[in-house]
Structure 1
Amino acid sequence: MKKKQFAIIGLGTFGYNVAVELVKKNMQVLAIDNDSEIVNRISRFVTQALVADATDEKAMEDACVADCDSVVISIGGSIETSILSTLIVKELGVKNVIVKSSSCWHSKVAAKLGVDTVVYPEFEMAKKLVDNIAMPNVLEQIELSKDYNLVEVVAPKEIWGKTIKNSGVRSNYGVNIIAVRKRIPIINDDGQSDIKEEVNMMPGPDDEINQNDILVVIGPEKSLTKLRG
């Protein structure tokens, strides 16, 4: 199977780390920035690293950006530079364009240009931090729609030892358990304590919920808020 090809335009902290992580996933990565020092630093990690002006259409064409499966535009500082680069990449016919946004206004303009994904790292990290502080029993959350989410939540104490049917999770909280991650304390061969994890992807009504279980639940946001406590 042919490796996917990615271009990362803009090698600030976000772009640099995206490029390196993609390489770890065995992807081909073209890294582009106008700072030769940064390009030189990342060159040993990525497939190809180029010093180029992202607002120069000829330079982007010569870099074969259009041959990439996806392009991540992660240009900091000037919103205008990011927008112009986005427009050039779109006109080159790149199939999947992802833009790192620096503001709500930037996100709106990028969306108008027809980008496939807009990411706003500062906002998303702030939201994740607040969720972790306000709801420490929630381990992971995926927003499926405006009002419907999927979350991983530590099993509440009041349902330990109960079956899914008798736990009242559906009737009391209005959510459905779609999987259970069981964390079972064990003693290793060397006598050290450890945790063995088993995942039940199709839990039945008679399956029991225990103290260390992680519940993967799906439901309306207002119901999930009640479950989080």
Structure 2
Amino acid sequence: MADRGCDLPCAAVQILAQRTTQAVRAAKDQGFDTLALAQQVLLDDEDLRAVEDEITQWREARAAHTAVLDNPELQQASEHPPAGLDTATAARAAADDQHAEAATAASTTHTRNQDLTAPASDLEAAIQCLQPLEQAYSTARHLAELVTGNSPSVRVRMHLEAYVLAARLEEVVTAANTRLHIMSEGRYTLSHSDHQAARPGLGLQITDSLTGRPRKTDTLSGGESFFASLS
């Protein structure tokens, strides 16, 4: 019985010695000269959890980066030769210069547009004010052309005064033919003419029933002129 009781402590001592030796060896493998120095740097539970959380975050970040690197498009791009940094830098500088020039041109154009907007608005307002005057002028000009006989819409270019006289002359000719028909025994007939005169609308012509053709009054003989004048 005494011998068996001694075996248990001896075994425990041996195990302790083995574990201590293993711990000393592990401490030296990690760069510690003694086991005591290794025990001094042991972390408490809170610090250990912080380290474990940091390791977990590192693993998650590593997994995310690995997933990005496993992208087929990135793998295909990695097979191409690297881009020329100097060429890309020069192209970027040229693009920046072009952008600056375009921005300056756009700003200048905007300023000019603002400078022209106000005069354009003033011009539009002036045009609107002048439209009634233009209409009134057009009406007055048309009336003036009608009065002076210069309107392109009239058949005979005749002054208003001549037009009034021509209308009166037609009445005179109608009355004169009554007498002329009797005096010439129906041979001659006076008629009004818009062309047979120096002033349009004041011309006269006479028709001889023997010929049936009208002719100018200045071709009449002395007796014929007398009959016409007397009529």
TM range (shorter): under 0.3
TM-score of the pair, normalised by structure 2: 0.15
More strand by share: 1
Name which structure has the greater RCO, CA cutoff 8 Å, separation 6+.
1
**TM-score computed with the length of structure 1 as normaliser:** 0.15
